[in-house]
Amino acid sequence: MRTTSYHGRFRRTGARMLSAVVTAGVLAAAVALLAPQPAAAAETPWLTVSDDRYASFSVPAAYVQEHAGQVSQVVIEGNFGPSSSWTEFGLTRRGDVWSGVLGPLKPGFYYYQVTGDDTKSLKDPTNSTSVASEPLWSTFLVPGDSARWLADVPAGTGGTVATLTYRVNKEQRSALVWTPPGYSAKGAKRYPVLFLESGRDGAATDWLDLGRARQILDNLSARGAMEPMVVVLSDGSASADDKGRKDLRKAVADNYRVHRDPAHQAIAGISDGGTQALRAALTKPNDFAYVGSFSGLTESVGRAGDKAINHHLKLLRLYTGNQTDPAYNATYRLSKALNRAGITFEFDGVNPDGGANWATWQENLVDFVPRLFRHVSDHGPSAGHRPLKAEFTPPPAGTTPTPFVTKDGFVTFETTTDFKDAQHVTVWANIAPGGSWLRVPMSRDGDRWRATVGPLEPWFYYYRFIVDRVPVKDVSNPTKVTTEPMWSTFLIPGERARLLTDVPAGRGGEVTSMTYQSTVANQERTALVWTPPGYDPNRAQPYPVLYLQHGGGQNYTDWLEMGRAKQILDHQFLDGDLTPMVVVMGNGNVSNFNRELLENIAPTARARYHISSDPSQQAIAGLSMGGGHAFGVLKAYPGEFAYVAAFSAGFGSATGVDATAINNGTKMLRLYVGDQTDFVYPSFMTSLTTMNNLGIRYEFDGVTPGPHGWDVWQKNLIDLAPRLFKR
């Protein structure tokens, strides 16, 4: 039997919620549309982060209306997407607040702003953090071992950051300077120096506010993982030319006890700053002995073909993120050019989960600094990084159906030319942790809009475009969802998604339509029926039957189009995990489901398929509303179905419930729910208390990571189906 574990441990409600670097009552400037707004006292934080890394947002509707006007939607924009990309997390209006829960987030450093109707942006006034270059942004740290370098060191044990003011021609400029613990302006000891640049449009403060450079340097220093050095943080324009770079180096040497010789000088930068660092080193290799390019955009070596460069450079190390990093192709071309020129360099490898953002550059800094001004034996890539074998080039616009999916999980979405005059286009998809939904901003590409996101794990995904706040179907994708005409779907194959893929042609079960006259709805209705491979309508023993129900706003087609029920059942049967059974997917959109099931769906199914009416051979399960239907049948007709399961649904009232009859007549009552992002989670937990008080025996599968969505319910069916009719 092949099994896949998708489920977490049972976690009771009431987990302590911690403020995520957010202090209630501490006021930051609330800013909308880049214009300062009047300060407003906030009694509770807009953001809290639980110990298990779920971020809960609660934004007062009155505040939004006061500072941004009436809006139809509110999102949290932040680096929450795959590869820490900038995405939008939509909030739901619930009474007086816009709220939502996202997670579990990976340990790391996050930044965000609140935005209404695409353009009306606000700073969170309850978060005391700030980003000097982005006044609308707030930040928070999700702690964890992988983010240990980003945490504050104990007070008084770290280095010191000061501002250095200097002049270039008649212009006054400034840089930030980190000096290590124990640094003294007096004495004979001199320190090597690293010049660390931001991008062209960045600020020196970005390395502190977003790059966590101070924390990284403090932690490396505290662990003895770096040589004591002075680190100079500058913006992208500080050393954009030889004059600016020369004046900055002189100002540092005049004001700090640093070595002036190139052997004790290093330079690195991000994006355009990495480009400048490379050009400085390659055109004047006798200025710096150590060079690092973090997502640098240089593609050639210019006039630096002289192999004498190798004599001056002790280290030239290149870094890049994955295919979403603009430096990916540039780094590939540069490495080829360096090889042709005979210039020695190191490559950290492709960070498969890193884009062109601060999460990647933080890791680059952690790797680069310990290599400076000391002997290092390891010159290879970081653990888990991959070779850079070729450029990444999506198909030309308009040449292929979308989305375009690579074998390693990168997905390129593309609109038609119908939206060339649009102002704001995103692709909304279940790509957040656990299958929650995020909106990925798309960029203009001629008359189309495009976005590449990834890597996504193997699984089943669904999406739609949002064009100026209006949902739009990707008409280039032939897939459809009957109940949600704007949705399209795609599958990323892989072992994790094996049960969701099609089995070889001719080996799976058969799905047929079952039309019947409903005496409850007073109309002709349809159900879909899966029969297993080798189904024999004449065999001696009738087949057991599972009645599998959909949720609210859905119908009988959803378990096939979205739930991948056929693929799951086909695989489990072929794997030998499934008792041969018939699965009936009925339409639960009716005023009295109990009657619809017992008077219409079940009798018709028995008449047309060779299935049992023996309670021990009957099961009922459903998601959300369908789970409520399953509970309703259990209460009203205990013992009629020996196997009952509910996905993301509450038990409801205890009034009139015959617990003894339920226990005596039910072989298995199995319950499922998503995590804190599933909005029924609180009521579900209350249901467990109700059932406990009644003395009803049940099994709880534990929290299934994910929201009130198909990622969870697919996993629930995968767990449930092999358990049926085996007791």
pLDDT digits (tens, 9 = 90+) for 149-182: 999 999 999 999 999 999 888 888 899 999 999 9
- How much is the pLDDT for 306? 65
Ranges of CATH 3.40.50.1820 domains, the chain: 149-371, 504-723
588 HSE (CA, 13 A, CB side): 26
Please tell me the number of Cα atoms within 13 Å of 682 on its side-chain side. 4
Determine the Cα–Cα distance for residues 187 and 498; give it in Å rounded to an integer: 66
Has residue 467 got a pLDDT over 60?
Answer: yes
Segment 93-146, tens digit of pLDDT: 999 999 999 999 999 999 999 999 999 999 999 999 999 999 999 999 999 999
Count of other CB atoms within 10 angstroms of residue 544: 21
Average pLDDT, stretch 212-232? 98
CA–CA distance, 660 with 412 (Å, rounded to integer): 55
Q: For CATH 2.60.40.10, list the domain ranges present in the chain.
A: 17-143, 404-498
- Extract the tokens encoding 627: 């789970």
Beta bridge mates, 196: 233, 268
Give the residue ranges of DSSP H helices in 558-624: 558-561, 565-574, 593-595, 602-608
Q: Which residue's entry shows tokens 């099609």?
A: 502
pLDDT of residue 237: 67
Q: Which CATH superfamily is domain 17-143 in?
A: Immunoglobulins (2.60.40.10)
- Alpha carbon distance 215, 207 (integer Å): 10
Q: Using CB atoms within 10 A of its CB, is residue 705 exposed (0-12), middle (13-18) or buried (19+)?
A: buried
Please report how the helices 565-574 and 710-720 are oriented relative to each other, as an axis angle in degrees rounded to 10.
Answer: 30
Torsion of CA 668, 674, 675, 681, to 10 degrees: -80
Q: Reduced to 3 states, what is the DSSP secondary structure of residue 598?
A: helix
* pTM, entire model: 0.90
Q: Which pLDDT belongs to residue 62?
A: 97
Q: Can you give the pLDDT at residue 78?
A: 98
Q: How many residues does the chain have?
A: 727
Across 322-343, b (16+ Cβ under 10 Å) vs e yields bbbbebbbbbbebbebbeebeb
Which is more confidently placed, 285 or 531? 531
Domain 149-371 fold is Rossmann fold (3.40.50)
Among residues 438, 464, 361, 461, the alpha carbon closest in space to that of 77 is found at 438
Q: What pLDDT was estimated at residue 3?
A: 39
Q: What are the CB-based long-range contacts (under 8 Å, 24+) for 398-403?
A: 398/448, 401/476, 401/477, 401/478, 402/474, 402/476, 402/477, 403/463, 403/474, 403/477, 403/490
Checking DSSP bridges between strand 438-441 and strand 425-429, what pairing results, if any?
antiparallel
Mean predicted lDDT score pLDDT of the chain? 91
Mean pLDDT of 283-306: 82
What confidence tier does 238 reach under pLDDT thresholds 50, 70, 90? low
Q: Is 60 exceeded by the pLDDT of residue 293?
A: yes
Interval 373-389: pLDDT, tens: 999 999 999 999 999 99
Per-residue pLDDT, 1:
39
618 with 634: CB under 8 angstroms? no
Q: What is the pLDDT of residue 307?
A: 67
pLDDT for residue 501: 98
Percent with pLDDT over 90 in the chain: 83
Top-tier CATH class for 504-723: alpha beta
What pLDDT does residue 94 have?
Answer: 94
- Least confident span in 282-296, 505-519, 571-585: 282-296
| Residue 25 in this model has a pLDDT that exceeds 50 | no
Of 23-32, 43-52, 326-335, 525-534, where does mean pLDDT reach its minimum? 23-32
Residue 702 has pLDDT above 60, yes or no: yes
Predicted confidence (pLDDT) per residue in 328-370, tens digit: 999 999 999 999 888 999 999 999 999 999 999 999 999 999 9
Q: 529: which strand partners? A: 512, 584
CA angle 245–246–247, rounded 5-degree value: 95
Q: Over range 640-665, report the average pLDDT.
A: 97
- The confidence band for 6, taking pLDDT boundaries of 50, 70 and 90, is very low
Section 396-419 average pLDDT: 92
Mean pLDDT of 73-91: 97
The CATH number of 404-498 is 2.60.40.10
Q: How confident is the model at residue 325 (pLDDT cuts 50, 70, 90)?
A: very high
Q: Determine how many CB atoms are found less than 10 A away from the CB of residue 222.
A: 15
Given a cut of 90, whether residue 405 has pLDDT beyond it is: yes
pLDDT band at 23 (very low <50, low <70, confident <90, very high): very low
Dig out the tokens for 390 from the structure: 């070729």
Gap between the Cα atoms of 527 and 546, Å rounded: 13
Q: Report the pLDDT value the prediction gives residue 241, as an integer from 0 to 100.
A: 67
CA atoms within a 13 Å half-sphere pointing along the CA-CB vector of 454: 26
